[in-house]
Amino acid sequence: MKDLFGKALLDYHNGVLTGSMADVEDIITSTNISDEDVLPLKYLFRSFKEMPKLEQKALQLSKGKILDVGCGSGSHSLYLQSKGLDIKAIDISPGAIEVAKQRNIVQTEVKDILDETETYDTILLLMNGTGIFQELSQISKYLNHLKSLLNVNGQILIDSSDIKYMYEDEDGGVWLNANANYYGELDYFLSYKSEKEKPLKWLYLDFNTLFTACTAADLQCEMIMEGEHFDYLARISSN
């Protein structure tokens, strides 16, 4: 991993601090089923007010000892920390964690969720949190690991989207290849300042598929809130 995502976050953060955005460009993303799109860096530094309702709801439901998984620049952690909550932020991106530290998040570490061993009352996975599972075949590994990190009465708050709409034609027909992998499994490409990141696998999960995977892992899964565009927030807990 070249950590272009972290590099972009660092450039943006330094730009804001120094008052010079000359060195800053937005991230360009695309997938195997969609064209290039701009991911504005400002969005990755959103305040509570600027967050989607689903994320605001997740933060309002967060309690106890909290883990923010894939924290990015740490916007969710920063809000929870400002409310006096006990929050730790982790990310595999060294650049992201450097930014989170510079934004004064106290407990933060470069770490893959699969290497985490402490236990928590709330585990947050936000901005398509199921993406971190990468592929349908890996859900049970991640869910079982997340389950092992839950305190009694603990909860996992995770968001995702049903991206079936991306396969719709102009007449509203949906064209899914029955022989292909699950339709939410995408190859994700990211570039920053003309440099290309190693392609990633990124998983969008519809609620029913998440629910079924949770049941198989002996976890409860409930819909907390539906968003405006096929997105949702779910709460997962131990039975």
Residues within the interface to ligand SAM (CB under 6 A): 5, 44, 69-72, 75, 90-93, 96, 112-113, 126-127, 132
In angstroms, the CA 60 to CA 63 distance is 8
- Closest contact distance (angstroms) between CB of 172 and ligand SAM is 29
The structure tokens listed for 81 are 């920390």
Q: How far is the CB of 167 from ligand SAM (least distance, A)?
A: 22
Residue nearest to ligand SAM (CB): 70
Minimum CB distance to ligand SAM, residue 133 (Å): 9
Which CB sits closer to ligand SAM, 10 or 90?
Answer: 90
- Structure tokens given for 226: 């539906």
Least Å distance, CB 33 to ligand SAM, is 18
Query: Minimum distance from CB of 216 to ligand SAM (Å)?
Result: 21
Cβ proximity to ligand SAM, 203 vs 219, nearer residue: 203
CA dist 98 and 183 (Å) reads 34
C-beta separation of 88 from 67 below 8 A? yes
Spatial contact of 86 and 64, defined as CB atoms under 8 Å apart: yes
Q: Please, which residue, 112 or 195, has the CB nearer to ligand SAM?
A: 112
Token output for 235 = 């709460």
CA angle centred on 99, ends 95 and 100, rounded to 5°:
115
Q: Measured from the CB atom, is 34 or 153 closer to ligand SAM?
A: 34
Q: How many alpha carbons fall within 13 Å on the CB side of residue 44?
A: 23
The residue among 74 and 154 lying less far from ligand SAM, judged by its C-beta, is 74
